[in-house]
Amino acid sequence: MFKKILIANRGEIALRVMAACREMGIATVGVYSEVDKSALHTRTADEAVFIGASEPAESYLNVERIIDAAKQTGAEAIHPGYGFLAENADFARACQDNGIVFIGPPAKVIRDFGNKTVARKMMVDGGVPVVPGMTESNLDAKRVAAHAEEIGYPVLVKAAAGGGGKGMRIVNAPSELAAALESAASEAKAAFGDGSVYLEKYITNPRHVEIQVLADTHGNIIHLFERECSIQRRHQKIIEETPSTAVNDELRQKMGEAAVQAAATAGYVNAGTVEFILDEDGCFYFLEANTRLQVEHPITEMITGIDLVRRQIEIAAGLPLDLKQEDVTARGHAIECRIYAEDPANDFFPSPGKIVCLKEPTGPGIRNDCGVYQGFTVPVEYDPILSKLVVHAENREAAIERMKKALADYVVIGIKTPTQFLADIIDSQPFREGNTLTSFIDTYFPSWEPTLPDKDLAALAFIADGMAGKRVADAVAEGPAEIPLPWQTLGHWRL
């Protein structure tokens, strides 16, 4: 087993990986940029190496500096987390060339899955169902129009190099096609440096259901069931749950087998996720594969009891999987809410800044994978995820109640977070009914305004003004106007 691992990432995911390392007796090396000198991951790592200026290109995306940091500290392996270099085939290759183990799949697999049209072709050849559409990009406009007619409108223009929902356009009629191709291509070019686009059938009223797989270097591949990730804003997930309300045992088995088939076809090694789109008739189609640890991996860990990061490290060290498919069982229901520094009442606009007060929820079945602390300034430079709030309970109903409680207990002051918005979704009738299509937010929450007075401020007043003995619920009901501002109550809250 490795003695030392470098984590080429920041925030909650860097801490998540460090936690697994610590349990395994592996020393950790953190890397940090200028703005992250006092970030939680920098402070938590056994040792930390400064890798450059705050702009990602100068630090967390800088292959050379990260490899140097590993060499300098004697780290034998690098865990890339998610985002940044996690799905960069050149980085995986650079690790290998420098005698460092990349904790993830081989560079070739990352490259193949990194391009949606290459991946689609590979999956078609491997007999995995894919969304009807093209397996090549950049054909001339006439041929693209002919394809669109063939698969039938509505169609979806997608960027071959796509990610994060960028470079995607729904096209409802032939007259809109040319403009959509052009704008998707230019967005893709700006975001990925590659303007290749292609067409897929637009599946109406779909769900996003993905399957977690684990594959070792000895040819063993298993799946760890599904995650339903249909609650999205701007094609980006914000609430995930498992099991999916749309997947029964038979479908689960079919999708699991398709995911294992996808992994086998690609020569997959390590933890990966095969994303499918599931239509109203229960037909599912390959969407893409993510060749890394997913943001939402904890919900799978909660229901299976399997530590995915530990498994990633063991697989990278060459150990065989000591789990067979039939050994993997699920218990209960898990839900994750992503807590970003953003304002749900203002189109999810990022809200970086100083966290004046932070009170994390705790209690039975509650896990908060958090990358920040009270007093930390959330930088503008990076993805503003603060934490992932995960609950596990005996069944979905109990998990919903547990999440409501956890969200209500979550206090973040100084920056905007969507805890109230998430609680409103979780508590809504359509969510409770499991009516979770990817259109959920547009349909049920097209514009959202906070209905409660500022819960966080009320809670802080309660914490600060303990002598008043006010219950949080009463303080919330009274509203912020009734509550002394924290700096009026206690001088030292003015950090």
Catalytic residues: 292
> How many Å apart are CA 406 and CA 430, to the nearest integer?
20
Q: Taking CB under 6 A as the rule, does residue 162 contact ligand ADP?
A: yes
Q: Taking CB under 6 A as the rule, does residue 164 contact ligand ADP?
A: yes
C-alpha angle 76-80-85 in degrees, rounded to nearest 5: 120
CB of 483 to ligand ADP, least distance (A): 40
Interface with ligand ADP in residues 230-259 (CB under 6 A): 232, 235
Q: Taking CB under 6 A as the rule, does residue 184 contact ligand ADP?
A: no
Give 214's strand partners: 222, 271
Q: Which listed range, 7-15, 164-172, 334-342, 458-466, lies at the site for ligand ADP (CB under 6 A)?
A: 164-172
Q: Taking CB under 6 A as the rule, does residue 288 contact ligand ADP?
A: yes
According to CB under 6 A, which one of 35, 277, 339, 411 is a site residue for ligand ADP?
A: 277
Task: Say whether the peptide bond before residue 243 is cis (omega within 30 degrees of 0).
Answer: yes
Sign of CA dihedral 218, 221, 224, 226: positive
Burial (CB < 10 A; 0-12, 13-18, 19+), residue 222, is buried
Q: Taking CB under 6 A as the rule, does residue 208 contact ligand ADP?
A: yes
CB of 56 to ligand ADP, least distance (A): 18
Q: Taking CB under 6 A as the rule, does residue 414 contact ligand ADP?
A: no
> How many Å apart are CA 80 and CA 87, to the nearest integer?
8
Give 227's strand partners: 210
**Residue 268 or 285 having the CB closest to ligand ADP:** 285
Sign of CA dihedral 55, 61, 64, 70: positive
Q: Pick the closest to residue 99 from 128, 80, 123, 78 (CA basis).
A: 78
Q: Taking CB under 6 A as the rule, does residue 272 contact ligand ADP?
A: no
**Residue 290 or 419 having the CB closest to ligand ADP:** 290
Q: Taking CB under 6 A as the rule, does residue 275 contact ligand ADP?
A: yes
Burial (CB < 10 A; 0-12, 13-18, 19+), residue 140, is exposed
Tell me whether strands 270-278 and 284-290 are parallel, antiparallel or unpaired. antiparallel
CB of 494 to ligand ADP, least distance (A): 42
Q: Taking CB under 6 A as the rule, does residue 203 contact ligand ADP?
A: yes
Cβ-based neighbour number of residue 402 at 10 Å: 23
According to CB under 6 A, which one of 200, 336, 360, 409 is a site residue for ligand ADP?
A: 200
**Residue 164 or 282 having the CB closest to ligand ADP:** 164
**Residue 230 or 419 having the CB closest to ligand ADP:** 230
How many residues make contact with ligand ADP (CB under 6 A)? 20
Interface with ligand ADP in residues 438-457 (CB under 6 A): 438
Tell me whether strands 155-159 and 197-201 are parallel, antiparallel or unpaired. antiparallel
The contact mask relative to ligand ADP for 99-138 (x = CB under 6 A, - = no) is --------------------------------x-------
Q: Pick the closest to residue 388 from 453, 302, 291 (CA basis).
A: 302
According to CB under 6 A, which one of 287, 358, 393, 426 is a site residue for ligand ADP?
A: 287
According to CB under 6 A, which one of 2, 32, 198, 202 is a site residue for ligand ADP?
A: 202
Under a CB-based contact definition with an 8 Å cutoff, are residues 218 and 235 in contact?
no
Sheet holding 77-79, edge to edge: 47-52, 27-33, 4-7, 77-79, 101-102
Q: Which listed range, 134-142, 195-203, 245-253, 403-411, lies at the site for ligand ADP (CB under 6 A)?
A: 195-203
Burial (CB < 10 A; 0-12, 13-18, 19+), residue 327, is exposed
**Residue 156 or 339 having the CB closest to ligand ADP:** 156
Q: Which listed range, 162-170, 256-264, 297-305, 462-470, lies at the site for ligand ADP (CB under 6 A)?
A: 162-170
Cβ-based neighbour number of residue 397 at 10 Å: 11
Sign of CA dihedral 349, 352, 354, 358: positive
Q: Taking CB under 6 A as the rule, does residue 328 contact ligand ADP?
A: no
Q: Which listed range, 196-204, 217-225, 256-264, 305-313, lies at the site for ligand ADP (CB under 6 A)?
A: 196-204
Q: Taking CB under 6 A as the rule, does residue 263 contact ligand ADP?
A: no
**Residue 166 or 392 having the CB closest to ligand ADP:** 166
> How many Å apart are CA 38 and CA 492, to the nearest integer?
21
CB of 334 to ligand ADP, least distance (A): 19
According to CB under 6 A, which one of 24, 54, 135, 163 is a site residue for ligand ADP?
A: 163
Q: Give the residues lining the site for ligand ADP (CB under 6 A).
A: 131, 156, 162-166, 200-203, 206, 208, 232, 235, 275, 277, 287-288, 438
